[in-house]
A and B are shown apart, each in its own frame.
Chain A
Amino acid sequence: MAKIVAIVKMVPDLVEELEINEAGTGLDRDWLRLIINEFDNHAIEQAILLKERDAGEVTVIAPDAEGVEDMLFTTAAKGADRMIKLAGDLEEGANNHALARAFAEAAKPYQPDLILTGVQANDDLDGPVGPLVAEYLGMPYVGYISGVTIEGNKAIVRKEYPGGLIGEMEVTLPAVLGIQAGEEPPRYVAISKVRQMMKTAEIDEQEISELNPNGGVIAKRMYLPEAAKRAEMIEGDEEEIAAKLVAIFKKAGAL
């Protein structure tokens, strides 16, 4: 029976407008809408798939953030066995190096055979979490993974290269994998099932003993990209825009 830990975090929803804080060195967290990191969601799906195939046990660990409990209950509804929320002073200085140290600490007691995490997140400035966790636990790491099979004390993984090329790798367990895509798209769970979990499942809240951000970068300045090379914007109502697009298509030789 494989013991699997999925490490996930909430990230800014990029569909929303992002703003910079007053100091000009980070995102303005007050206005951020957070969602689960897309690739972490794939990692969760892969973990659940492995559990269903090999009768494993899945623990999900996430740092505290707005919306994290809903997210964790959602993973419970999908089939996760244990949910852990890491609490601490996560506002400042919680870069991926600090988080990875905390994740490694939190994962250790469960003696995982496999730790799955998203290959990267949209707010990584000091590298992705997965390889850092791997090294802090002395485990091997392979990223860009889109398929995992456990065979005894090894995992056979599909590592993605550009153009759809796959490198099939054999990794000695325990190991950490950076998941690019699960073997299936993340499953949908009915909200009623999530509500059920809110009543029955429990989230284990653990305090992070110390946040150590060493190894992370300190941004001197953050800003929105200058609109230097902006596109020529086409204005009008839908009919006018359609007419202008037709002219552009003609000029480009498409009509």
Chain B
Amino acid sequence: MNQDIYVIIEHLQGQVADISYITLAAARDLAQETGGKVLGVLLGQNAQELASTLAADSILYADHPALAEFTSDAYQKTVASLIGENEPRAVLFGNTSIGADVASVLSARLSLPLVSSCVKTSGGKLTSQICGGKIMAESELAETTTLITVIPGGYKPESGQSETAPEVILFDAPALDDLRVTLKGYIEPEAGDVDISKESILIAIGRGIQTEDNIELAEELAKFLGGTVCSSRPIVDQGWLPTSRLVGKSGQTVKPKLYLALGISGAPEHVEGMAESEVIVAVNMDPNAPIFDIATYGVEFDFFDLIDPLLEQVEEAKEG
């Protein structure tokens, strides 16, 4: 085993994902501890130029038609053979639709330990965020190559970007035939009636709103404030709002002047889509709700006791 830290670079439709820059920054922190290099692992077809912005000591690149777009089977095979040959100290993945499909499978295939949902790697301490952001768990690198999945929150994407293109080293993908997973194509999201990523005032509702009928209350507030209603995932999964209104990891990233979060706990998957809002106001009954850790202003209160006086006063202020 050597002391190098590998980062599996994610790209989709020709673009490097932000999580990969974040993961490169986490890898740099870890490499400072191990004394090794940071190596990006890029898989693709004619995708070499994607390496140019990556803050890594070098990039290991495999070019193969089966790697043109992400599929779990081909990525797993390629990364497995690379780890087997080089035995790095750690391999970092985004805890995403791409990284999570690969990291766990390889943990079982190669009998290597896996630490998931890691936000910070400073001082060799791996800090994971679990239970919707309510619990932090600290662990360490194991004696063998350690697999780690990274979530946003601890590092900024800019720290993983570089002006100077790193050196690219080619490596051969293993035989990639008999693949059991293939991509048929992409289905682009339907355009919604509004683009919440461009709105400056957002009224966001979560499971705390309890019923579909109560969305009206948020709509009314939004009307007075000149804002738009958006939501956390459970609201969309219930079919109460369209996917175009979803904020977070699987939805939109928003950056409004004002983000009013009503009955949202602040799970990491939600927070990654709204943490950069200018002013965040959170209303939640639970004093330990993680949303209070990132909000500018917090109101520990029952939404249903607050909404009537709030609507009244907001209406008055609007008219007055």
Contact = CB atoms under 8 A, between A and B. Distances in A.
A128 B104 contact: yes
A55 interface: no
A177 B178 CA distance: 19
B306 A165 contact: no
B180 A175 contact: yes
A134 B105 contact: yes
A164 interface: yes
A219 B138 contact: yes
Contacts of B113: 126, 215-217
Interface string A109-146: 00000000001101111111011101110001111100
Nearest to B109: A135
B115 A217 contact: yes
Given A165-B186, A220-B140, A224-B136, A124 B258 contact: no
Interface stretch (B34-42, B57-65, B82-90, B310-318): B310-318
B108 A215 contact: yes
B251 interface: yes
B239 A185 contact: yes
Contacts of A125: 115-117, 128, 130, 137, 139
B59 to A, nearest CB: 23
Interface stretch (B47-55, B164-172, B296-304): B296-304
Interface string A209-239: 0000011111111111101111111100011
A152 interface: no
B72 A142 contact: yes
A225 B185 contact: no
Contacts of B12: 161, 165
Interface stretch (B1-9, B22-30, B155-163, B286-294): B286-294
A148 to B, nearest CB: 14
A69 to B, nearest CB: 24
Interface stretch (A57-65, A189-197, A243-251): A243-251
A1 interface: no
A216 B132 CA distance: 20
Interface string A84-123: 0000000000000100100000000000000000011011
A23 interface: no
A254 B258 contact: yes
Contact of A245 (B131, B142, B281): B281
B198 interface: no
Contacts of A221: 137-138
A160 B257 contact: no
Interface stretch (A2-10, A13-21, A46-54, A75-83): A13-21
Interface string A166-189: 111111100100101100010000
B231 interface: no
Nearest to B316: A246
Contacts of A144: 97, 100-101, 250
Nearest to A245: B310
B114 A215 contact: yes
Interface of B: 12-13, 17, 69-73, 96-97, 100-101, 103-105, 107-109, 111-117, 128-140, 142, 149, 180-190, 200-201, 224-227, 234, 237-239, 243-244, 246, 249-252, 257-258, 265, 278-282, 286, 288, 290, 292-301, 305-306, 308-310, 312-314, 317-318
Given A120-B100, A242-B310, A252-B258, 17 more contacts: A97-B114, A127-B116, A141-B104, A142-B101, A162-B96, A162-B251, A164-B189, A164-B246, A168-B183, A168-B186, A169-B183, A215-B107, A216-B113, A225-B129, A230-B292, A252-B279, A254-B258
Top 4 nearest A-B pairs (CB, nearest first) are A164-B189, A231-B298, A135-B108, A131-B104
